[in-house]
Chain A
Amino acid sequence: MFKQIQYLIFITFLSTLLFACGGGGGGGSSPSGGDGGDITVSWEANKETAVNTAGGGYIVYFSQSSGFNPGDTGVSSKSVPYVSGVASPTTTVITTPASGTWYIRIAAISRLNPPGSTGGSESVASSQVSVNVP
């Protein structure tokens, strides 16, 4: 039984490798006629312990409007929560629903509530970067 589990883990590892390779191909295989595609987004790690433990992490906001705010209508987002280890992830792949120029901002999430709040704690979003999805 134990051997079977080990085998399973090995298979998982292999398939992870395959996925990592295939992921790039997936982005490249997006239709080029305006249906969007993948963007790899990376950022510097925040130093707060409460961002880099369970309940913490990041949110990637993306929009086709330059100068957008996270709360604006039509802004897309992807959560990138802490999983394990010493830090939350600092890279992710987002998939845009359309081609064109996309603007991206990152906010960090703390697992701690400020005094008098139960709504959690989200940082001010970073300055925006842009990328053109063919």
Chain B
Amino acid sequence: MKNKQIALSLATALILGFISIAGASGPLPIAAPDASQANTIVDTGKTKPATLSTSARPTMVEGEILVTFKSTLSSSNVDDMVNGMGVITAKKVGKKNVRLVKFSGNMSVQQAVNSFAADSNIVAAQPNYLYYPNAVPNDSSYGQVWAHKNTGQTITNGSYLTNNPGSAGSDMDTELAWDEITDCSAIIVAVIDTGINYTHQDLASNMWTGNTNSGWDFVDDDNDPMPVDGQIHGTHVAGTIGARGNNSVGVTGVCWQIQIMALRALGSTGGTTSGIIQAIEFAVDNGAHIINMSLGGGGDFDSLFSDSITYARDRDVVVVVAAGNEANDNDTANASWPCNFTQDNLVCVAALDQAYALADFSNTGTTSVDVGAPGVNILSTWPGGVNTVRSTGWTQSGSGWATTDSCTRITGSPVALFNPINWCTTPNSTYANNTDSTISKYFPLNDLLGAEFSAKAIINTEAGYDFVRAYARANGGNPDSTTPLFSFSGTAAGEISFSLENCLTRFCTVGFRLTSDSSVVGSGLALFDMEIQKIEYNSSTYESINGTSMASPNVAGIAALLRAYNPGYSYLDTVNAILGSGEDTASLVGTTTTGKAVNAMGALSFINVPTGVSATLP
């Protein structure tokens, strides 16, 4: 009976509170937006009325409190009591007599706490506080990713020597942004690049799932965008955008979860308009929200490429590109495409070092380059590890060849092959006229990401008549019937290397051929320190490299954060937020259109100017 009386008094308090608030500013519908409840402040000159708090995120849930009833009350007693209190819902929380009470939104949390706390059957009443992740991921190498949190740390094995370490705080404030959002899994970012090792441990779960292999290969025109030529670039770019966050291993992308679409349009010798525009169309037509193109070329205006940027714009796709690494001013005769295209869905990015100085290689342009972003000593995902094989045991099929691991003319253990046969022992020896002989060796190159042959070479042949050529044949046999991968006539000393990307088979034959005409001979050739660099697929390698190519994906990642956080954002809203919110940076003043370094938290807190204002007499 006593309980019932108390319940009644509490309910009365709720009702009174409700009526008095409603009476103060006019009746309010429950839980429906109505601007009429806001107080009008007249003639104060205030720019920010106190009623509209813009301080940090809320600390408690409005319309809810947690109420602890005496432990002597049974659970059903408590249920009876709260049912009599006129609250919207009361849910049991935990094992004690605690209820999560939801009440009308017209009473403040404090008013509700005061009302309930006065009840003698209630031990305590408190707000239902809000907690947020301390969004620092647990990825093992996160501390090396200075773009997110620059503590002045030294980047291990960083090849860019200036400002390593740099300045604490010269970063994108990504950790602040992560307090609001880390999950961009609703967003598709297309990486138009050299392909991606989509099996990498930090990428596999963040790849686009729209087709079998998460993208397309426009170099080989097949459905597998794996970088079969061993190019590392695209995999590194992808990790900066979206290496899985908080998975205990490796690095952390700007987005912890995302959908990365792998579009291979660059091979070991670059890419073409044809491949790139197909990749852009594929990205747009398959739902990409953002395209990253860490690539550039310095030719004339490419109208088809430009048209494809427009195609992306007309379908609401943001395009983020690199400024280029030639230390050029793109605004002069040294235009760099796509950076210099002028569509408003395109953001062109310069590279900053760890102290937010401009990287010494970064292109600039006060009308073409928009912003700067971290672009040196960037640690990210790598498609595989390099396994270097030094090998002798070559098979001679013609005359004059020899191999050795010991040659008096070359110090150390040279792993050499040469022609003529006495090249090592008799310095003035020469090959014979009318020579046509080949030496070759099988290499098992199957199941590799890529392979490259390299050697030091000393060559002396009759220029224009006597030739040294190199070949590789995918399925065994004499390689000299194939197109040469290397061809030289004359005198030179230096390194030679060629990709074996088209020979990644169980029996790849690599061969060298010496041909001479009927007159004039030379001292022939010696190849030493011969190596096959086998790039083996693995899912756990990371490396740090430098480039505006590494800066661009930091911005693409912020674009993804923005579009994930603000689902209504158009391409233009996204670009406005990126360009309008950066951190003023001295090295970018006079070198970019904005003078700003991108900032993830700045972009999230950016507000577009309200539009469509109308005012009428009622």
Partner-B contacts on A (CB < 8 A): 1-2, 4-5, 8-9, 12-13, 15-16, 18-19, 23-24, 27-28, 37-44, 46-51, 54-59, 70-85, 87-89, 91-95, 97, 102, 104-115, 118-131, 133-134
The answer to whether B614 touches A48 (Cβ under 8 A) is: no
Known A46-B610, A110-B54, A122-B54; contact A1-B86, beta-carbon cutoff 8 A = yes
B43 to chain A, nearest CB (A): 5
Residue numbers in B under 8 Å from A42 (CB-CB): 612-615
**Which one of B34, B46, B86, B605 contacts A112 once the chains associate, using CB atoms below 8 Å?**
B605
Least CB distance, A107 to chain B, in whole angstroms: 7
Among the stretches B92-100, B361-369, B545-553, B565-573, the one at the interface with A is: B565-573
Cα of A38 to Cα of B26 in the assembled complex, Å: 16
Extra contacts besides A47-B568, A108-B609, A115-B583 (6): CB < 8 Å: A1-B85, A12-B30, A46-B607, A46-B610, A74-B45, A83-B37
Q: Determine how close the nearest CB of chain A comes to the CB of B582; give it in whole angstroms.
A: 10
Q: How far is the CB of B608 from chain A (nearest CB, A)?
A: 6
With CB as the reference atom, state the residue of chain A lying closest to B19.
Answer: A8
Asked if B48 and A39 sit within 8 Å, CB to CB, the answer is no
B373 to chain A, nearest CB (A): 15
B13 interface residue, CB < 8 Å from A? no
Considering only CB atoms and an 8 Å cut-off, how many residues of chain B contact the other chain?
A: 74
Interface core residue of B573, B615, B616 (most chain A CB under 10 Å): B615
Kindly report which residue of chain B lies nearest to residue A6, judged by CB atoms.
B86
Find chain B residues with CB under 8 A from A124 CB: 609
Question: B51, B53, B58: which contacts A120 (Cβ < 8 A)?
Answer: B53
Closest beta carbon of chain A to B249's beta carbon, Å: 29
Nearest-neighbour CB distance to chain B for A132, whole angstroms, equals 8
Cβ contact within 8 Å between A115 and B27: no
Shortest C-beta distance, B109 to chain A (Å), equals 12
Least Cβ distance of B357 to chain A in Å? 20
CA distance A91 to B581 in the complex (A): 27
Query: Considering only CB atoms, which chain A residue lies closest to B106 in the complex?
Result: A12
Give 17 CB contacts A-B under 8 Å: A38-B618, A40-B618, A43-B610, A47-B608, A48-B566, A49-B565, A76-B40, A76-B41, A77-B47, A83-B34, A85-B32, A87-B33, A102-B615, A108-B608, A109-B52, A111-B56, A114-B602
Q: Is the CB of A111 within 8 A of B607?
A: no
Rounded to whole Å, the gap between the CB of B406 and the closest CB of chain A is: 63
Per the bound structure, the CA–CA distance linking A74 and B581 in Å amounts to 30
Q: Check if B452 is an interface residue, CB within 8 A of chain A.
A: no
The verdict on A76 contacting B48 (CB below 8 Å), with A55-B54, A85-B31, A127-B613 known, is: no
The distance in angstroms between the C-alpha atoms of A12 and B29, with both chains bound, is 7
A38 to B27, CA, bound (A): 18
Does B28 interact with chain A (Cβ within 8 Å)?
A: yes
Q: With A8-B15, A49-B566 given, is the CB distance from A105 to B613 under 8 Å?
A: yes
Per the 8 Å Cβ criterion, residues 32-72 of B in contact with A are 32-49, 51-58, 62
Set of chain A residues within 8 Å of B28, measured between Cβ atoms? 12, 16
Q: Would you call B485 an interface residue if the criterion is a C-beta within 8 Å of the partner chain's C-beta atoms?
A: no
Question: Which listed residue, A76, A108, A130, touches B44 by the CB 8 Å rule?
Answer: A76
A109 to B54, CA, bound (A): 7
B611 within 8 A of A: yes
